[in-house]
Amino acid sequence: MNNTGNDCYFKEESDSFLIFCDNSTDPPTPYMSGRSSNFQILNISIENNQMSVTTFVAKDCYTSSGVSSQKNDPSLTLAIFPISPAKNMFIAVGCDTYATFRGRQGSTYTTGCLSSCDSISDVINGSCSGIGCYETSIPRDAHRYNISVTSYNNHSGIWGFNPCSYAFVAEDGFFSFSTGDLYKLPFDVVPIVLDWLIPNETCDDAKKNTTTYMCKENTNCTDAENGNGYQCNCLEGFQGNLYLRNGCQDINECVISQPCIGLCTNLLGTYNCSCPEGLQGDGRKDGKGCTPIIHEKSFHSINVVLGVSISFLLIFLGISWLYWGLRERKISRQREKFFLENGGRLMLQRLLSEHEGSIESARIFTDEELKQATDHYHESRILGQGGQGTVYRGILPNNMVVAIKKAKILDRSQVEEFINELIILSQINHRNVVKLIGCCFETEVPLLVYEFVTNGTLSDHIHKCGHESTLSWRARLRIAGETAGALSYLHSDASAQILHRDIKSTNILLDENYTAKVADFGASRLVPLDRTQLTTLVQGTLGYLDPEYFHSSQLTVKSDVYSFGVVLAELLTGLRALSFERAESERNLSLYFASAIKAERLFEIIHLRVLNEGNPEEIKEVAMLASRCLRVKGEDRPTMKEVAMELEGLMRVMDRHPWVNQSCDLEEAEQLLGERSRKCDGILKSNASGNDDSISNQVPFEIESGR
């Protein structure tokens, strides 16, 4: 080894490994000469057997017209030191990028990264997991590689925020991805870690020649796990330059790490801990330490202390038992108080006297039963949250899955009305109304227990892209008919007339057979026999709210008819009832739908699948029915019984003549739509519940019900 000044050295005997200094810089910059190029040396760690050098980044850039403007596919060839697979990663950056790492270890192999995205909004800062950035490990024994980076679409469509693709091998932890890297990578060279070794010999072969054996005193030799050669390491308890004579020196642990609580004695390669006189133990911080030596005279004192401690423990246990007993008694009394305040006794009396034999249809649950069913109302059991409260998924002891609705704080003046609603709902037995299984009065606010409906809401299946193809025209018409039949039953055939008051696609659930189930009666009202309308504070969901009810506060059965008309329009068009992502004239579906019919542009807004599968006359007939439901004056709207009969008639015609639905084929639909393409009419920025805006009491907005 020869000194060239400024702490730089080189080996003259071989041109396969040469370190030299560029003296034109201050301080001089060290370089390593490889077989194909020179590499700037950033660091050499003798103790860790590693060396850091710089290498280049592969680049593939395009102009806005998709023409290649810059292409660079670097390679690296090393004579001795292999690339460390444990300390490096292969990384590709770009939203239209495919990069390959082609190496050689006796035979040629190739690995690669793929990164793709359509918009910078998809990219996550700090995450190199495939969206704008992807990384992977490299194989062992790699002395050379070629990096190639390409683009599938020449960065067309994304050039504004990502004109180039990049790929490189770099030290793990060097690169932290951010969106700014898509515009321009802030570096052209990167650090790469090489494993330092003595080449072309194993430890056993090297030890035979004491002249060339590189491991000196106080070292051990290990065969390299990466590459062909061996490495030297200082023995445990030693540190220093292991390639120099007497380079590995003993570590004085007593001074450096101070491992002892007691007395520390440094030994060659290790240390010893001991305790001072009068103490016993191993004296180590991570061991038993040092404790006083206990003599026989001390045992009496210990027994006294132990007896006193046990006495205090027994007194503490007695006080705790008394405290918990009184606490449970207080909780029991509080549950009884809530039961009475919430009308539990009155509820039971009415069910017994007025509805004999129907107790099982409205089971009275205890607070403890519902806590166990919901894992103490754990947040993982939440199905939905809304203005009326939170809905939890519960599992009863008989493994029956239910939906448990926990209401918000209830106005005590409305308890009687709440009880009446429960009595009526407990008597409803309609296949298209979510069944009320029971209730609980032992909590501060009553809880309702419903059957669990498995297939989500109608809104999910109309508006979410993943569900778009699941609802055929026939299924949509059947769901509309089932919903209309349920509302007709509530208006005309129930023991007391019920106004739902919040009909919308998110309150229509679908079971495993896609059968409609009307849900969420939290805003419903009972109409006395001598009344046809109620005067109430306005409550409902924007987009579905009856304009006549909104202005007059007069709630009638025709208010539900209007809301159902909006749902029918949703089924026909696939559009949300209210969307601020659409043009101003199209935001409110009911107004947009009425405008399209008036301008004879109905088939321009009908959903493509409905056009493909439905008969034009049949679609027009349903659309006109929806239009009648959406009339401004309630007296001009049909009743729900009339709506249900008309939809039922259409279904019977479809059953008798299924071929009529084939008359509007795909070619005719394309002629009606022109070149219009249908996308999911989803709201990109959802509110707290992820669905509709609601209005309550004429002032605040409320999120939709959890049901």
**SS3 per-residue string spanning 290-351:** CEECCCCCHHHHHHHHHHHHHHHHHHHHHHHHHHHHHHHHHHHHHHHHHHHHCCHHHHHHHH
Q: Which of 105-109, 124-128, 388-392, 571-575 has the lowest mean pLDDT?
A: 105-109
pLDDT of residue 336: 56
Q: Which of 705, 363, 378, 667 is nearest to 541 (CA)?
A: 705
Whether 369 contacts 349, CB under 8 Å:
no
Whether 691 contacts 506, CB under 8 Å:
yes
pLDDT of residue 388: 63
Does residue 671 have a pLDDT over 60?
no
Question: How many Å apart are CA 492 and CA 470, to the nearest integer?
Answer: 32
Residue type, 399: N
**Cα 384 to chain center, whole Å?**
16
* pTM for the whole structure: 0.49
pLDDT of residue 350: 53
User: How is 530-580 classified by DSSP, letter by letter?
Assistant: T-S-EE---EEETTTS-HHHHHH-EE-HHHHHHHHHHHHHHHHH---SB-T
Does residue 191 have a pLDDT over 60?
yes
Mean pLDDT of 301-325: 81
42 half-sphere exposure, CB direction, 13 A CA radius: 13
Question: How many Å apart are CA 417 and CA 343, to the nearest integer?
Answer: 10
Mean pLDDT of 202-227: 89
Same fold, 344-451 and 458-703: no
pLDDT-derived band at 66, boundaries 50, 70, 90: confident
pLDDT of residue 698: 34
Q: What angle do CA 508, 513, 514 make, to 5 degrees?
A: 30
Whether 528 contacts 498, CB under 8 Å:
no
Report the relative pairing of strands 144-150 and 189-195 from DSSP bridges. unpaired
Question: How many Å apart are CA 411 and CA 464, to the nearest integer?
Answer: 37
Does residue 11 have a pLDDT over 80?
no
pLDDT-derived band at 293, boundaries 50, 70, 90: confident
Does residue 26 have a pLDDT over 80?
no
- Which residues, including other chains, have CB under 8 Å from residue 234's CB and lie 6 or more apart? 47, 218, 219, 240, 242, 248
Question: How many Å apart are CA 184 and CA 165, to the nearest integer?
Answer: 9
Polymer length of the chain = 707
Name the 3-class secondary structure at 106: coil
E-assigned strand segments in 561-639: none
pLDDT-derived band at 684, boundaries 50, 70, 90: very low
> Could you confirm whether domain 458-703 is CATH 1.10.510.10?
yes
The residue with greater pLDDT, 359 or 267, is 267
Whether 84 contacts 226, CB under 8 Å:
yes
- The percent of residues in the chain predicted with pLDDT above 70, rounded, is 77
pLDDT for 618-639, tens place per residue?
999 999 999 999 999 999 999 9
Determine whether 490 is exposed, middle or buried from the number of CB atoms within 10 Å of its CB (0-12, 13-18, 19+). buried
Name the 3-class secondary structure at 630: coil
Does residue 683 have a pLDDT over 50?
no
pLDDT-derived band at 222, boundaries 50, 70, 90: very high
pLDDT of residue 385: 78
Mean pLDDT of 599-611: 92
The residue with greater pLDDT, 625 or 47, is 625
pLDDT of residue 347: 53
* CATH number of this structure's domain 50-196: 2.60.120
Does residue 116 have a pLDDT over 60?
yes
- The percent of residues in the chain predicted with pLDDT above 90, rounded, is 35
Question: How many Å apart are CA 271 and CA 395, to the nearest integer?
Answer: 61
pLDDT for 521-569, tens place per residue?
777 777 766 666 666 667 778 899 999 988 888 888 899 999 999 999 9
Write down the domain spans for the chain. Answer: 50-196, 344-451, 458-703
Does residue 400 have a pLDDT over 50?
yes
Fold of the domain built from segment(s) 344-451: Phosphorylase Kinase; domain 1 (3.30.200)
Beta bridge partners, 701, equal 695
Question: How many Å apart are CA 561 and CA 627, to the nearest integer?
Answer: 11
Does residue 505 have a pLDDT over 60?
yes
Does residue 318 have a pLDDT over 60?
yes
pLDDT of residue 94: 93
Whether 505 contacts 459, CB under 8 Å:
yes
Q: Please give the positions annotated as active site.
A: 502
Does residue 356 have a pLDDT over 60?
no
pLDDT of residue 500: 87
Q: Which of 40, 28, 59 is nearest to 194 (CA)?
A: 40
Does residue 582 have a pLDDT over 80?
yes
pLDDT-derived band at 607, boundaries 50, 70, 90: very high
517 half-sphere exposure, CB direction, 13 A CA radius: 24
pLDDT of residue 675: 41
Alpha carbon separation from 475 to 86, 98, 471, 472, 611 (Å, rounded): 57, 44, 6, 5, 14
Mean pLDDT of 642-646: 95
Beta bridge partners, 114, equal 98
pLDDT for 332-343, tens place per residue?
565 555 555 555
Q: How is residue 644 written in tokens?
A: 């249900």
Other CB atoms within 10 A of residue 552 CB: 14
Q: Which of 92, 210, 231, 69 is nearest to 149 (CA)?
A: 92
Does residue 691 have a pLDDT over 50?
no
pLDDT of residue 10: 43
> Does 191 sit behind a cis peptide bond, omega within 30 degrees of 0 on the bond before it?
no
Report the relative pairing of strands 144-150 and 96-104 from DSSP bridges. antiparallel
pLDDT-derived band at 246, boundaries 50, 70, 90: confident
pLDDT of residue 420: 55
Question: How many Å apart are CA 200 and CA 427, to the nearest integer?
Answer: 89
Mean pLDDT of 651-670: 57
Whether 250 contacts 269, CB under 8 Å:
yes
Q: What is the DSSP letter of 673?
A: H
Mean pLDDT, rounded, of the chain? 80
pLDDT of residue 567: 96
Residue type, 437: I
Name the 3-class secondary structure at 477: helix
Report the relative pairing of strands 436-440 and 363-364 from DSSP bridges. parallel
Q: Which of 387, 481, 479 is nearest to 705 (CA)?
A: 387
Does residue 21 have a pLDDT over 70?
yes
User: How is 161-178 classified by DSSP, letter by letter?
Assistant: T--EEEEEEEETTS----
Q: How is residue 430 written in tokens?
A: 């309609």
Does residue 477 have a pLDDT over 90?
yes
pLDDT of residue 30: 81
Other CB atoms within 10 A of residue 16 CB: 13
pLDDT of residue 410: 56
- Which residues, including other chains, have CB under 8 Å from residue 411's CB and lie 6 or more apart? none
Q: How is residue 82 written in tokens?
A: 């292999």
Does residue 507 have a pLDDT over 80?
yes
Question: How many Å apart are CA 203 and CA 130, to the nearest integer?
Answer: 42
Q: Which of 523, 530, 559, 554 is nearest to 544 (CA)?
A: 559
pLDDT-derived band at 16, boundaries 50, 70, 90: low
Does residue 681 have a pLDDT over 70?
no
Residue type, 9: Y
pLDDT for 125-175, tens place per residue?
888 888 899 999 988 888 888 899 999 899 988 888 999 999 999 999 999
pLDDT of residue 624: 96
Name the 3-class secondary structure at 39: strand
